[in-house]
Amino acid sequence: MDEFDLIHRITPKETHQRSLVMGIGDDASVYQPHSHCEEVVCVDTMVEHVHFRFDFSTPFEVGFKALAVNISDIAAMGGTPKYYLVSIAIPPHGDETIVTALYEGMKALADTYHMDLIGGDTVAIRSDFVITVTVIGEVPKGKACYRHSAQAGDIVFVTGELGSSAAGLSLLMNEVESAKAVDSDFFLERHKMPQPHIAAGYICSSFPRVTLNDVSDGLASELNEIAEASRVTIEIEADKLPKHPDLPMLRKDWLEWVLFGGEDFVLTGTIPEADWESFEIQCKKEDIQITRIGQVKGDQAASVILKDNDQQTVLMKKGYNHFKK
C-alpha cells in the first residue's frame, strides 16, 4: 500500500463546513472560526487488542467507533463537531481493504454531523493498529458545560440507557449467563457503534448552569469526576437508573454493568431544579430520553452515594482505567 495513494483516496472530494479555508493538501489545514463561538478540541486513541479486536468488530465498525468516542466528548461540552483529523499507525496485517474500511466507517458517522476530514498522519508500525482521532467543534461563547459548576439541590440526570455496551462486550466474549430470548443485536450495536448524544448536549448548553460528562469509563467514575470538580456529594437512586429491559436476563448483578461498565457514551450531569421542567420539555420535543436519577447534596466531602432501598453505598471512582488491572 502506497502512503500517498492512501492519502489521495481518503481526501474528501467535497466539504461540508463553509468556514474551512484549506483542507488536506498542504502542511496544515486552515479554517476561520465563528466569532460568536468558542472552539472545543478533544483527542482519543484506540489500540488494537486493547480497545478493539477485528474478530469482534469489522474495520468499518472500528472506524465508526473511533470517531464516535471523540464526538461524544464534544457533546459533553455542549458543542457541535465540525472537523476531524486521523493519525493511523498501520501494522503488516493492515492491508488496503482494512484501512479503507476504517476510513469509510469514520466518514459514515462524520457525514451525519456534516464534519470534514482535514488532516492527520499515516505511519507504519510493527505490531498492532493504533488509531488517534482529533475532533474540533464549537460551542456558543460562554455556554460550554463544565464539571465544576454543580451545586446543592441540583438534579442529577442521564440521557439514554446504561450498561448496554458492557452487555454487548460480554456477549462477544461469551461471558453472559444466558442470551436466550434477548435482543442480542441491540447490545452488540451499542458496543460496536455507539451514537453520540450531540442533540442532548446542545440543549444542555442553552441553560445557564449545567454540568456534563459523557459515560465513557462508567457512571460511577463520571459522577465522581463531577463531584470532585464541584466539591459536592452526589446521591443517586438504584431503582431510577435507566436500563434496557433485557439487561437483567443477561446477568444477575447487572447493576455492575450500569455503574461501572462504561462505553455507553450517553451523557450524565446536573441541572438546577428550577430548570428541570423546561429541560424535560425540550428533550421530549427532540425525542431524547432523559431520566432523573438523583440529587446533589452540599457541605459534604466530594463523593457519590448509591441509595438502594434502605442501604447507602459510597461508589468508588471505578471504571475502565488503562493503568490498572
Mean pLDDT over residues 18-26, rounded? 71
Mean pLDDT over residues 299-307, rounded? 88
From the annotation, which residues make up the binding site?
27, 44, 51, 73, 103, 120-121, 147, 214, 216-217, 263, 320
What CATH number labels 155-314?
3.90.650.10
Alpha helix positions (H), the chain: 3-10, 59-76, 96-112, 164-172, 184-192, 198-205, 219-230, 247-250, 255-256, 273-285
In DSSP terms, 235 is beta-bridged to 295, 305
From the annotation, which residues make up the binding site for Mg(2+)?
27, 44, 73, 121, 214, 217
From the annotation, which residues make up the binding site for ATP?
103, 120-121, 147, 216
d(CA 196, CA 174): 26
Q: What is the structure's pLDDT at 11? A: 74
CB 11 within 8 A of CB 3: no
d(CA 166, CA 145): 26
CB 225 within 8 A of CB 302: no
What confidence category does residue 298 fall into, taking pLDDT thresholds of 50, 70 and 90? confident
What confidence category does residue 318 fall into, taking pLDDT thresholds of 50, 70 and 90? confident
For 241, the grid coordinates are 437508573
Q: Cβ of 247: how many Cβ atoms within 10 Å?
A: 20
Terminal CA-CA length for the chain:
37
Q: Judge whether residue 220 has pLDDT over 60.
A: yes
For the segment(s) 3-140, the CATH number from 1.10.1060.10, 3.30.1330.10, 3.30.420.40, 3.20.20.70 is 3.30.1330.10
- The reply to whether 3-140 and 155-314 are identical in fold is no
Would the pTM of this model clear 0.85, i.e. be above it? yes
Mean pLDDT over residues 236-244, rounded? 97
Angle at 261 between CA 255 and CA 266, to 5 degrees: 100
Domain range annotation of the chain: 3-140, 155-314
From the annotation, which residues make up the binding site for substrate?
51, 263, 320
